[in-house]
Amino acid sequence: MIRDDSPPPARSNAVPRYREIYEALRQKIVSGEWPAGYRLPSEHELARSFGCARMTIGKALGALADQRLVTRRRRAGTTVNMPRPQESVLEIHDIEAELLAAGVSYAYQSLERRVRRASTADANILGVPSGTPVLALTGLHRAGGRPHALEERLINLHAVPEARAERFSGISPGRWLLQRIPWTEAEHQIGALNADAAIARWLAIRRNTACLTIERNTWRDEQRITHVRVIYPCDQHRLVARFRYGPT
Amino acid sequence: MIRDDSPPPARSNAVPRYREIYEALRQKIVSGEWPAGYRLPSEHELARSFGCARMTIGKALGALADQRLVTRRRRAGTTVNMPRPQESVLEIHDIEAELLAAGVSYAYQSLERRVRRASTADANILGVPSGTPVLALTGLHRAGGRPHALEERLINLHAVPEARAERFSGISPGRWLLQRIPWTEAEHQIGALNADAAIARWLAIRRNTACLTIERNTWRDEQRITHVRVIYPCDQHRLVARFRYGPT
DNA sequence: TTCCGCGATATGTCTAGGCATATTATAATT
DNA sequence: AATTATAATATGCCTAGACATATCGCGGAA
């Protein structure tokens, strides 16, 4: 017996099939038609009803799972998740690039630069054994000639020995590091503080002005690279983060 | 001629092949052996050298591209990216769940509740036409009996008509909404401010104390649901975000 | 010299099967 | 009744091949 082995019509739509399916299923979920806990049809059933191979369905369901809209377990099937905790992707840009993109002139001014063996405090902050050689930097980011942010940084000289020879007059250490050292993990902590006298002087703001602080730790496969705290006056900077349950 | 059609040995390692390959390639990149701009071997070549099907290579490379470690373009091939702008996934938790998880008692105290037609200011903040019915809420989150955060919220009553009947005495509007309304997009803005007299009184802090503010806008497929601004005293809360170039 | 068309190449997507494995439901046994 | 073996099911991973499509580079024409 001869079966119809003609290939399916050459769908050359711009949007791939798996994405159409992803969108269709996503719509069921975000519209509430399939509420939390609902169990989706099996891959085989969906493949039949959408008229495609099981692997194509698998790709669509995999994308939904990546977005955490559903959970997939063998034999148990695919079920709709509870709405998640509010989650966003926060991009913390290089200050210099950000300002230049906005058409503002930028300069980094080094205020202090010291190589030392890590004190107990340094060791705690940077997460290295005390006594490890570190480079401690303080500097000011200027935008349009005016103070924009104050930066306090510790660099692990075991991880970045080249830094010992770099003066960082002119180039910001953040950019310098970013261009040289690939990092594999980063942690940010965001907080607020009242400017003390020293901070207020450097940033040319009044004492007690609220400032946003961003602390960042970076790792390169287990090894700590640097710790930095950047202090922005409250009116200079906002962090924006956006998340969407998206067309991926 | 008879070819060896015996299937490949039944690798039943716990780690799938595509992930092994992903890790191997990732290692080349983060170690610096393949620097930014380096062009990877083609899928065919990799498939040959790893001894697997092209699709398996495609899955590994796709994962690297998801992590933005590489860029893939037809004909041009797959190339290693420059290190990215610092990016992190920020989870902004439900305050109530967070405090309960920490073993602290939690309560929401409604301070003000008004239904009104959106003023121009409301309209700007919430992104709806002025005149749209909105619910304006002010409330205090208490932890262990003490003030923890102040919340100012606008809810679009066209999007959430059920909210008109809800008193929000006891239950926090954030939690109430999260349980009822699936959202598809969220934007967060994080900033700092000095507490004014009203804020200071409610939060039982001194005037001018630095506070962290989180503003959140949520959408459900184009439609604005709510805008909220939460104000935390600087010593009460930090935001932590973490990112890793990961084993996915 | 410059521009245009064409072939080569690498990825993007898809199919139709296959075996592996976790988990659940059911039947059998103690 | 409680426990254990077994079968069924749904996902997870994989292959070998196919066509589609973007784009790079080259050679010929204006």
pLDDT tens-digit series, residues B201-244: 999 999 999 999 999 999 988 899 999 999 999 887 888 888 77
**What does B147-210 look like in DSSP terms, one character per residue?**
EEEEEEEEEETTT-GGGGG---SBS-HHHHHHHH---SEEEEEEEEEE--HHHHHHHT--TT-E
- Residue A125 falls within a domain, yes or no? yes
Q: Work out the mean pLDDT of chain A and round it to a whole number.
A: 89
User: Of B50, B80, B110, which residue constitutes the final position of a domain?
Assistant: B80
**Amino acid (one-letter) located at B216:** R
Interatomic CA distance for residues B206 and A139, integer angstroms: 31
- Residue B7 falls within a domain, yes or no? no
pLDDT at residue B239, rounded to an integer: 85
pLDDT at residue A72, rounded to an integer: 95
Footprint of strand C on the protein (CB under 7 A): A 8, 16-19, 51-56, 59, 73-76; B 7, 10, 12, 14, 40, 42-44, 54-55, 58, 61-62, 65, 72-78
**Amino acid (one-letter) located at B95:** I
**Torsion angles phi and psi, residue B205, rounded to 5:** -125, 170
Structure tokens at A43: 């891959």
Interatomic CA distance for residues A166 and A182, integer angstroms: 18
pLDDT at residue B2, rounded to an integer: 33
CATH of the domain at B56: 1.10.10.10
Residue A9 Cβ under 7 A from any strand D atom: no
- Is B53 found in the same domain as B149? no
Closest CA to B218 of B97, B117, B92, B38: B92
Residue B4 CA from chain centroid, whole number:
51
- Quick check: helix, strand or coil at residue A137? strand
Percentage of chain B with pLDDT > 70?
Answer: 94
B214 has which bridge partners? B190, B230
- Is A163 found in the same domain as A62? no
Q: Work out the mean pLDDT of chain B and round it to a whole number.
A: 89
**Amino acid (one-letter) located at B231:** I
User: Which of A32-41, A42-51, A146-155, B238-247 bottoms out in mean pLDDT, i.e. has the lowest?
Assistant: B238-247
- Over the stretch B133-190, which tens digit does the pLDDT of each residue have? 999 999 999 999 899 999 999 999 999 999 999 999 888 999 899 888 888 889 999 9
Interatomic CA distance for residues A18 and A16, integer angstroms: 6
Domain count, chain B: 2
Range of the domain at B190: 89-240
pLDDT at residue B53, rounded to an integer: 96
- Residue B45 falls within a domain, yes or no? yes
Contact A133, A158 (CB under 8 A): yes
Q: How many CB pairs under 8 A join A and B?
A: 175
Closest chain A residue to B90 measured between Cα atoms? A88
pLDDT band per the 50, 70, 90 thresholds, residue B13: low
Interatomic CA distance for residues A195 and A117, integer angstroms: 28
Span between the terminal Cα atoms of chain A, in Å: 44
Contact B43, B81 (CB under 8 A): no
Average pLDDT over residues A165-184: 88
- Is A53 found in the same domain as A137? no
- Is A203 found in the same domain as A135? yes
Contact B179, B162 (CB under 8 A): no
pLDDT value at A248 more than 80: no
- Is A228 found in the same domain as A185? yes
pLDDT at residue B147, rounded to an integer: 95
- Residue A1 falls within a domain, yes or no? no
Closest CA to B239 of A151, A125, A150, A188: A188
- Quick check: helix, strand or coil at residue A120? helix
Please report how many Cα atoms fall inside a 13 Å half-sphere around the Cα of residue A126, on the Cβ side.
Answer: 29
Closest CA to A190 of A206, A170, A172, A214: A214
CATH of the domain at B190: 3.40.1410.10
pLDDT at residue B247, rounded to an integer: 54
Chain A residue numbers with beta carbons less than 8 Å from the beta carbon of B216 are 86
Percentage of chain A with pLDDT > 90?
Answer: 69
Average pLDDT over residues A67-92: 88
pLDDT value at A42 more than 80: yes
- Is A222 found in the same domain as A128? yes
- Is B224 found in the same domain as B106? yes
> Which of the residues B178, B190, B199, B229 would you substitute to probe the A interface, choosing the one with the greatest number of A C-beta atoms within 10 Å?
B190
- Which one is predicted more confidently, A105 or A97? A105
pLDDT band per the 50, 70, 90 thresholds, residue A157: very high
Closest chain B residue to A93 measured between Cα atoms? B85
- Is B106 found in the same domain as B205? yes
Average pLDDT over residues A1-29: 69
Interatomic CA distance for residues B246 and B49, integer angstroms: 24
User: Of B61, B80, B99, which residue constitutes the final position of a domain?
Assistant: B80
B193 touches chain A (CB under 8 A): yes
Structure tokens at B240: 């932590």
- Is A75 found in the same domain as A93? no
pLDDT value at B111 more than 90: yes
Q: Which helix (H) or strand (E) holds B126?
A: helix B120-126
- Over the stretch A87-99, which tens digit does the pLDDT of each residue have? 788 888 888 888 8
- Is A149 found in the same domain as A39? no
Chain B residue numbers with beta carbons less than 8 Å from the beta carbon of A176 are none
pLDDT value at B7 more than 50: no
pLDDT band per the 50, 70, 90 thresholds, residue B96: confident
- Is A129 found in the same domain as A26? no
- Is A231 found in the same domain as A163? yes
pLDDT at residue A246, rounded to an integer: 58
Helices A54-66 and A17-30 cross at an angle (nearest 10°) of: 50
- Over the stretch B45-68, which tens digit does the pLDDT of each residue have? 999 999 999 999 999 999 999 999
Interatomic CA distance for residues A171 and A74, integer angstroms: 53
- Residue A144 falls within a domain, yes or no? yes
A97 touches chain B (CB under 8 A): yes
Please indicate whether, in this complex, the C-beta atoms of A238 and B208 are within 8 angstroms of each other.
Answer: no
pLDDT band per the 50, 70, 90 thresholds, residue B88: confident
User: Of B32, B50, B80, which residue constitutes the final position of a domain?
Assistant: B80
Interatomic CA distance for residues A42 and A61, integer angstroms: 10
Structure tokens at A231: 């202090």
